Each structure stands twice: as structure tokens, then as C-alpha cells.
Amino acid sequence: MTKPPLTLYLAAPRGFCAGVERAIKIVEMAIEKWGAPVYVRHEIVHNRYVVDDLRDKGAVFVEELDEAPDDRPVIFSAHGVPKSVPAEARAREMVYVDATCPLVSKVHIEAERHHQNGLQMVMIGHAGHPETLGTMGQLPDGEVLLVETVADVAEIAPRDPERLAFITQTTLSVDDTVDIVAALKERFPAIVGPHKEDICYATTNRQEAVKAMAPNCDAMLVVGAPNSSNSKRLVEVGSKAGCRYSQLVQRATDIDWRALDGIESLGVTAGASAPEVLIDEVVDAFRDRYDVRVELVETAVETVEFKVPRALREPVRA
């Protein structure tokens, strides 16, 4: 039977960012250096396939530090951790490696600098997300006010409206954040913003690629995990950019083929913690059912690389 034709627009950039690649490499190098098991506080990145692969290699994932023994190395996830976590690790004399993405660490440093200058922080982010918890945990309780929406801006009660600064989670929707920042500046004209935008290059680049291809797509699939903030934002960006069906899938087995019946064009992208093997899996699933013509939609070329911590590059001391 003849397969129906399908134009498959493949976003570039897509998938792994430099921070995710660094975090995964940190776990692999830690296992190689110290042997298994190596403990990891929280999922190193938000992707089940990646986590399962590292678990097979000898990583043990725990939610809190008290689940890890004192005598085995522990790694902190790419999302960052509150200051209390490394403090506890030091108190227990644990060997630990911080895999926090350097761009998240930049936001932590920024928050501390503003705090030292006497400013109270407003954080634009998602309540309960590990990155938000980690960033808010850099400062004493009450020093960071969280806003998730424009409506939240009207509800916060800073101690001094003239002494405020704002920071953002690195994986937010660029467009949504612009509206929240505008509301903050309207209500608090003296508020201080980041020296450079907090939303990371990879989040911005992936969203721009989705915006470029969405108007040409009958449907769009974002390969990523349901607990991945940047992946969920890509789904939202696709819908807002004009794609009538924009959905998140973890694997090819999650594709709702009935919902895609009759499509002639499809956009495929992936969140920053989704490996290329899962993207290939989705593309191959469409090749099985359609006569696929792939078109690359490239809006940026990424060359960013982050070094792993020195502790992993040094030999084990006798």
C-alpha cells in the first residue's frame, strides 16, 4: 500500500544543551573514578531514558541527601540545590560534585549579589520546580518572592518597593516572561533586572526554532519528559505560534496516531534533556507510516561547552 506523503520539519537546535551534556558526563566520570554506586540527589536531568541509562551504569537516584550514605560520592543535579544541601554534605564529610548548570549558577550568584546590596528578590519561576527551589534556597527565608504569572505581580508585598531586583528560572517561555517583567516594572519602577537575561541560550534557541516552523505544521511533537519545564514550554510556544496540535511525547510509543490522522506536515523538536536517540525513534516511527521528506529548520548554531569540575579531572588520591 502506498504511504501518504509527509513533510517532517526537524528543528535545529533541539535536544541536549551544554548544561545537560555536562551533567550526564559528570555522573559517568564519577562512576569511572570512584566506582559504583554513585548517588545522585534528584534526577540529574528530567528524562527517564537518561536516568535509566545512568542507573544501569551504577548511579543511584535519591530525592534527599539523607537517603545517601556518608561513604559514597554524591552528585547534585543540573537544576541546582539550596545552600543547605552542600552544607549538609560538608558536615557529613561526604565527597560531592555539583552538576548545577553554570547558567543556573549564574542566577544564584546574581541573587546573592543583589542580597548583599540590600535588595529583596522577586523570582519569576514555577513553584516546586527543582531549579526554583534551588535558586530560592540560596538566600534566607523571605528574601525571595515567587511570581508565576502576571496576576501574581499584583499580589506580592515586598518590604520596600524601592529596593527590589528580579531573577528568572532559566527554562521559562521567553514571551510569557516578557509580560511578567513588564508588569513588575510597571508596579515597581525602581526594580533592578539581570545584567544579562536569565533565560538560557538553549531555551531561547529551541523556542525560536519552534516559532519558525509552527506556522507550516499541521501538528507538532516535542520529545521530552512531563516534568521538564523547557519541554512543556516548547509545547505552549508551538500552540501560540499557530500549530493547531502541539503535544509532548516521551517516546515514539506515546504518539497518538488517531489525533494525527490526515496530517500532511509535522514539526518535531525536543527539550534540552532529551537525547537524539529518542528523536530518531520518533522520526523512524513516522517513516514506517508515511513517505517522509525531512526539512531542517535551523535558526541557530550552538557551540557552547561547559567544563566538568576539576575534582573529576584529577586522579584519585592514594
Return the active site residues.
131
Q: How far apart are alpha carbons 282 and 158 in whole angstroms?
A: 47
* Cβ count within 10 A of residue 20: 26
Q: Are 124 and 168 in contact (CB under 8 A)?
A: yes
Q: How far apart are alpha carbons 114 and 189 in whole angstroms?
A: 17
Region of 93 please: left (phi>0), alpha (psi -120 to 50) or beta: left
With CA atoms as reference, report the closest residue to 46 among 54, 38, 37, 36.
54
Tell me the longest C-alpha to C-alpha distance in the chain: 71
* CB within 8 Å of 6: residues ≥ 6 apart: 263, 264, 265, 266, 286, 290, 291, 292, 293
With CA atoms as reference, report the closest residue to 68 among 49, 44, 45, 42.
42
* Cβ count within 10 A of residue 305: 8
Q: How far apart are alpha carbons 97 and 147 in whole angstroms?
A: 30
With CA atoms as reference, report the closest residue to 230 among 206, 196, 195, 258.
206
- Pairing between β-strand 265-270 and β-strand 164-168 as defined by DSSP bridges: unpaired
Only one residue has cell 537518561, namely 50
Q: How far apart are alpha carbons 259 and 240 in whole angstroms?
A: 19
* Secondary structure element (H or E) that encloses residue 249, with its range: strand 246-249
Q: Are 13 and 300 in contact (CB under 8 A)?
A: yes
